[in-house]
Structure 1
Amino acid sequence: MEPIFTPALHKQRHQFVIDFVKRNRPRKVVDLGCGECSLLKKLKFHREVEVLVGVDIDGAKLKKCMHGLAPIPTDYLQPTYDQLHIELYQGSVTQNDPRLRGFHLVTSIELIEHLTLPDVERFSEVVFGYMIPAEVIISTPNSEYNPLLPGLRGFRHSDHKFEWTRAEFQSWAVKVSSEYGYEVEFTGVGEAPPGQQERVGYCSQIAVFHRLRGRDGCNILFADDAEDLLSYTLLYTVNYPSLHDNNILRRVLVSEVIYWTEKLKRRWREVRTEERDESIVWCQTAAEGDECFRSSECGAEINRLMEHCGRYMAENQEEEVFGTKGQGKQESCRLQSRCVSIPLAVLWTSCPKVSALSGNLSNLRHLLTTDPEVKLSQDGSSLLVDLQEQDLEEEGDHDLEDSGYTEVSQCSYSAAQEEDWEPNV
């Protein structure tokens, strides 16, 4: 069967939720009747959401699809400050579970028509009377549209217990809103052919509920929750890597520090091996370096770091590396037992990414102190770089993704099963 909607109807329903999330930026979202987790897999890329939960009665389906919600390699290589926690539960939407209280958005996409009418009433009590989210999105088939669907006889799916007209759906939604302290607006997706929209409405009708002021679900007292049974079974949980995790932050920061110090060390070696009749001026060396270095995206930072380091001296067993040219004499960078000492203050000031990750000099020192990959001076004020190590291999065009850093701080339903008549929609 050729699709009769472009984009496909299920994609339009999901896009409606995604657009809502972009506009309203809810931090905690739960999808009731999440089925194959299709909507969750799209929402996980919208980092407005910090907690993403799916519930479905079909545990086998959840177990089959849950790994599609796992972080991808890029999430580990380029962690951001965004936080995302995902959970999947097996359970019935007609049962209370205290773990689902206090959410900002609840979605129920093509779910309620799979429930008996008594269960719809229980579903209303659970969502609006117990969970009390700030906003709710519910979609369901519009039976008035059915005559326009090719080859359809009866309900759109064999498991549907009912399919409401627009008047029936709106009557239920208004009653629920009045009873539980919400207001509701109606819309839909899947427009009718030209000239028939007013007569039959949308193929999928949607109600968007907003909790009224004065009934603040965020101020729910959870004292009674201790007596509530945990009705759902947790099948899957994962925390996405985030720079709010100190271990991840330290790993990314150390990687960035090592990258810049190794680049600096290699540049020092290049300068030392140059044969010149006169002493080399730091600034001139940086400016007159090879074309590859000048064209590097990190060349400016290295130049600045070299200039700053040229003003510092190591304390013991000093051996002059670079002198000065012309009248007078600048301070020079010195060797200390074949180690070069790079003050953390210079590193922090000269490398924007290091300063952005660490926040301040004290935090930089603290994060580096306990890491075995870096060596600090006795007073912790400088980074010691061993010049006896092998030169870095030629890197070609360096992609900063290798350092594990992304510039994030410029300061990252069983019922949802598709209807029988639209397997290709």
Structure 2
Amino acid sequence: MFSYELPDGGLRARCYINSEGDIKFDPPVYEQRYTTAVRILEDSRWGHKFKKVVDFGCADMRLLSLLRRVEGIEQILEVDIDEDILRSNKLRAEPLVSDYLKKREGPLRVELLKGSIDASVEQLLNVDAVIALEIIEHLYPKTLENVPKNIFGFMQPKIAIFSTPNSEFNVLFEPLLENGFRHDDHKFEWTRTEFKDWALNICQKYHNYSVAFIGVGDAPPDKKDIGYVTQIAIFARNDLLDRSLTEPFSSEVPVDCDPDADVQYKEIFAVDFPYNRDERSKEQKILDEARYQIDRCRRIDRYFNRDLGVYQVPLTVLKDFIETLGASMQELLAILKENDIEVKGDYIILPEYDEDDLSYRHYDDCYDDEYGLWNDVGCNDDETENDDELGACGGYSHTKDDATYDSEENWD
């Protein structure tokens, strides 16, 4: 097990009894479940972005509108056994007008797939995150038995989020349905102990996973002992928790799953969202980012070494920017060397003036209107005692006296 709390103090929700004696939740419990799942995925504690996510038992896909806004997600599989409900809610998977007006920074593909949560199919390979909200209580015993085999034995995601009703809360729901549950399709409803036992048994069999328990839907103040209306288990792969993995990973189908290797989910609909495509190579992105930051630093006085007459920009200035591109400092140094950008020790060395920056031209390199060229003749035809204080066409030079240096405006 591991301990987990939602970031930023958790959800702000309340439970109350209305004038007719019915228990109510604000916001509704389904919204609390969706919001909680998204906040778990967005939690910075994982130090990872989940690129491929599957939403099992997606039904009318109301969670999708939140999922597709999670930074880093590039593929969402909306999976349900009911083909009709997928088709009738297909519009919810399509891009909005705003998606075309303001395009995403990265790709996103949404697929609606008909299939069962216990089927080990190729489409589920390389899934980073599994969401299974309020689905296990709808499963028949054999299907439920195969769920851990498929998810933790075959898929092996980094994180899996399960929710299910807490039957101890049912004392506040009266009357229940004829089957004794909250929904006519429920096959069971577990107490907190039963749910905990189910989850811990999974971790005992699949040693690379640990589990934490939370819930949504508070009970009234005088009923806190019954727990939450919805109980949630968060399974995290141990490497996500900076713990050692005890078993090697394999992309092969486990023998005890006994799936049909040719079985695939039926694709109902698929769509690629518009996004701003960056066709540059990784090396070009690194070089462009480095040049941008270098140019920015040339305008910052604290990086200028007056004794040497050069800018000394710490390599650490580029570190965070380069890491966002998935690059290392070794890659950066190699690219700087290839492009004749000088590095000494921990600093990038820049000349005082960039030869492409006209605002920093020396006064002897003024522009000749007659010939349309820069020449070596000073701008001032008359030699005066003030010539030494002027840069290009009256511009500023760092090499002049302190008064001139201090009067330079800091453009950073």
TM-score bucket (shorter structure) = 0.5 to 0.7
Tell me the SS of whatever aligns to 2:202. Answer: helix
Q: Could you tell me which amino acid in structure 1 is paired with residue 277 of structure 2?
A: H
Would you tell me which structure has more helix in proportion to its own residues? 1
Tell me the SS of whatever aligns to 1:136. Answer: strand
Q: What is residue 232 of structure 1 aligned with on the other side?
A: 265
Q: What is residue 172 of structure 2 aligned with on the other side?
A: 148
Q: Could you tell me which amino acid in structure 2 is paired with residue 102 of structure 1?
A: N
Q: What is residue 184 of structure 1 aligned with on the other side?
A: 211
> Is the counterpart of residue 7 in structure 1 residue 7 in structure 2?
no
Q: What is residue 415 of structure 1 aligned with on the other side?
A: none
Q: What is residue 332 of structure 2 aligned with on the other side?
A: none
1:93 & 1:18 partners in 2: Cα distance? 20
1:110 & 1:62 partners in 2: Cα distance? 17
Alignment of 1:60-71 (within 5 A): 60-71=84-95
Q: What is residue 165 of structure 1 aligned with on the other side?
A: 191
CA contact (8 A) 1:102 1:218 kept: no
Q: Could you tell me which amino acid in structure 2 is paired with residue 103 of structure 1?
A: V
Q: Could you tell me which amino acid in structure 1 is paired with residue 37 of structure 2?
A: V
CA contact (8 A) 2:154 2:252 kept: no
Structure 2 vs 1, CA of residues 157 and 217 (structure 1 numbering), >3 Å: closer, same or farther? farther
Structure 2 vs 1, CA of residues 221 and 116 (structure 1 numbering), >3 Å: closer, same or farther? closer
Tell me the SS of whatever aligns to 2:26. Answer: coil
2:164 & 2:131 partners in 1: Cα distance? 12
Q: Could you tell me which amino acid in structure 1 is paired with residue 86 of structure 2?
A: L
How far has the Cα of 1:93 moved from its partner?
1.3
Alignment of 1:33-182 (within 5 A): 33-153=57-177, 154-181=180-207, 182=209
1:203 & 1:193 partners in 2: Cα distance? 11
Q: Could you tell me which amino acid in structure 1 is paired with residue 30 of structure 2?
A: H
2:254 & 2:206 partners in 1: Cα distance? 21
> Is the counterpart of residue 194 in structure 1 residue 218 in structure 2?
no
Alignment RMSD? 3.0
Tell me the SS of whatever aligns to 1:52. Answer: strand
1:75 & 1:216 partners in 2: Cα distance? 42
Q: Could you tell me which amino acid in structure 2 is paired with residue 38 of structure 1?
A: R
How far has the Cα of 1:10 moved from its partner?
0.2
2:150 & 2:272 partners in 1: Cα distance? 27
1:318-337 CA-partner distances (Å, limit 9, x unpaired) = xxxxxxxxxx84788xxxxx
Percent of counterpart pairs with the same letter?
35
How far has the Cα of 1:221 moved from its partner?
5.6
1:219-270 CA-partner distances (Å, limit 9, x unpaired) = 6368999982233101111111122265xxxxxxxxxxxxxxxxxxxxxxxx
Q: What is the TM-score with the length of structure 2 in the denominator?
A: 0.56
1:239 & 1:128 partners in 2: Cα distance? 28
Alignment of 1:23-34 (within 5 A): 23=43, 24=46, 25-34=49-58
Q: Could you tell me which amino acid in structure 1 is paired with residue 38 of structure 2?
A: I
Structure 2 vs 1, CA of residues 18 and 223 (structure 1 numbering), >3 Å: closer, same or farther? closer
CA contact (8 A) 1:142 1:163 kept: yes
Q: 2:277 aligns with which of 244, 247, 250?
A: 244
2:162 & 2:215 partners in 1: Cα distance? 10
Tell me the SS of whatever aligns to 1:53. Answer: strand
Q: What is the TM-score with the length of structure 1 in the denominator?
A: 0.55
Q: Could you tell me which amino acid in structure 2 is paired with residue 238 of structure 1?
A: V
1:46-92 CA-partner distances (Å, limit 9, x unpaired) = 23211111110000100111221111222223324221111111011
Structure 2 vs 1, CA of residues 331 and 179 (structure 1 numbering), >3 Å: closer, same or farther? farther
How far has the Cα of 1:105 moved from its partner?
0.7
1:175-215 CA-partner distances (Å, limit 9, x unpaired) = 01110121111111001111322x21110000000122426
Alignment: residue pair count? 255
1:33 & 1:228 partners in 2: Cα distance? 22
Q: 2:36 aligns with which of 16, 24, 27?
A: 16
1:118-163 CA-partner distances (Å, limit 9, x unpaired) = 2211112111111111111000000000011243342000000000
Structure 2 vs 1, CA of residues 4 and 227 (structure 1 numbering), >3 Å: closer, same or farther? closer
Structure 2 vs 1, CA of residues 164 and 330 (structure 1 numbering), >3 Å: closer, same or farther? farther
